[in-house]
Amino acid sequence: MVTYKAGIIGTGGIAGMGSLGMHDQEKIGKEKFRASHAGGYHEADGIELVAIADVDKEKLERFGKAWDIPRERRYIGHEAMLSEEDLDAVSVCTPSYLHHKPVIDAAQSAASPGVIWCEKPIAASVAETEEMIDVCDEEDAELIVNHSFRFTDKIQTLRDLIQKEGILGNVRSVSAQFRRELMRNSTHILDMLAYLLDARAEQVSGYINGENDAVEALDGTSVDDSGGGGHIVMDDGTFATVDCTVARDISSMALTFIGTGGKLYLNNDDGEWRYWRFEEGEHIEEELPGIEGAWSWEEDYRNAFPNAARHIVDLLEGEAEQNYSPGDEAAWSLEIIIAFYISHYTGAHVNVPLDRPLRDVTISSW
């Protein structure tokens, strides 16, 4: 079997270094964390992490030691790695406002990767996203975005139950709650909303509270990303309310779906999934077919990264039926977030897809 070669651009927390809030301080930069791009490559058969790049030499060296990357394959700057290495897959794990250039550079580089695995959210603006998608298409590089819920068996099965089996009938209403900040964290729940409904936002009304939980971690650097939420009318007619205003320690990732054929409650933090079938004017609770237990951060989230790396191998082998998390669908959650900001600051409803110059609105995050 061919062993494919992977490289990582950006050697921070999600790349494999570990991060506060998920890991103990003394373990960061020393242990191999499964819930990371490097962790995914480490566990998946048929692919190996062989090179890394970062502009921060200290981070680069610490990451290289933790993940046993030879010194000669630790590159200062992604351009050097892309010019020297022949890579089948490239992970882009830089801050979200810095995804655009590395993705395009990787697609157009001599490294010629067949897959580019970009962290979420896909970019800082819709215009950047569109260019990234177009260039990857032109260069025949599959762009896959790390909305990690899409790489878990439970969420994939649940989508089939909703879309193919019709367990909810026609979904009419959804309420969703998760932690701030919108770009850094809430993109997960917005993507899951779009993924499970197989729908895109059509009209958005938003609120931004200006609060974030990373001021100290950023050493005073200012970013736009904060808590927020609002109302969304999806293009399938579903009305959704989203609240992502609260801090991590008091948040709970919960969604409630109400449809003509049933209702569904998902709480991924408390580990509770419940389903009721609607029949003759009455909701009757029963088990979700084909799903045992609720989704969990400990098991499902950590499994998502090896699953994503295995999916990359399948894409490279030509064995995947489809890209589970393509760039054009990753744009759906981003345009909702951008629309929340535009709506808040203009006091108006925002129609989606965004027209120019709204596609150029940029929301900085980290």
Token pair 């030499």 in the structure block, residue: 57
User: Among 354, 34, 335, which Cα is nearest to 187's?
Assistant: 335
The mean of the pLDDT values for the chain is 93
Whole-Å CA distances, 22 to 18, 25, 189, 306: 7, 9, 18, 18
Whether the predicted pLDDT of 55 surpasses 80: yes
Residue 31: pLDDT band (50, 70, 90) is low
Residue 213: pLDDT band (50, 70, 90) is confident
Looking at the chain, the domain(s) classified CATH 3.30.360.10 span 151-295
Provide the Cα torsion 93, 94, 100, 102; round to 10°. -80
Entry pTM: 0.94
Query: 58-97, pLDDT tens digit by residue?
Result: 999 999 999 999 999 999 999 999 999 999 999 999 999 9
Name residues whose C-beta falls within 8 Å of residue 316's C-beta, 6 or more positions apart in sequence: 4, 47, 88, 89, 114, 115
Residue 219: pLDDT band (50, 70, 90) is low
Query: 136-191, pLDDT tens digit by residue?
Result: 999 999 999 999 999 999 999 999 999 999 999 999 999 999 999 999 999 999 99
Is residue 32 packed enough to be buried (19+ CB in 10 Å), middle (13-18) or exposed (0-12)? Answer: middle
Please state the CATH superfamily assignment of the domain spanning residues 4-149+302-317 in this structure.
NAD(P)-binding Rossmann-like Domain (3.40.50.720)
Query: 298-331, pLDDT tens digit by residue?
Result: 899 999 999 999 999 999 999 999 999 999 999 9
* Whether the Cβ atoms of residue 241 and residue 146 lie closer than 8 Å to each other: no
Looking at the chain, the domain(s) classified CATH 3.40.50.720 span 4-149+302-317
Choosing among 3.30.390.50, 3.30.420.480, 3.30.360.10, 3.30.720.200, the CATH entry for 151-295 is: 3.30.360.10
Name residues whose C-beta falls within 8 Å of residue 327's C-beta, 6 or more positions apart in sequence: 118, 122, 129, 132, 133, 136, 143, 144, 145
Residue 20: pLDDT band (50, 70, 90) is very low
What is the structure's pLDDT at 17?
Answer: 84
What is the rounded CA–CA span in Å between residue 141 and residue 88? 10
Whether the predicted pLDDT of 237 surpasses 90: yes
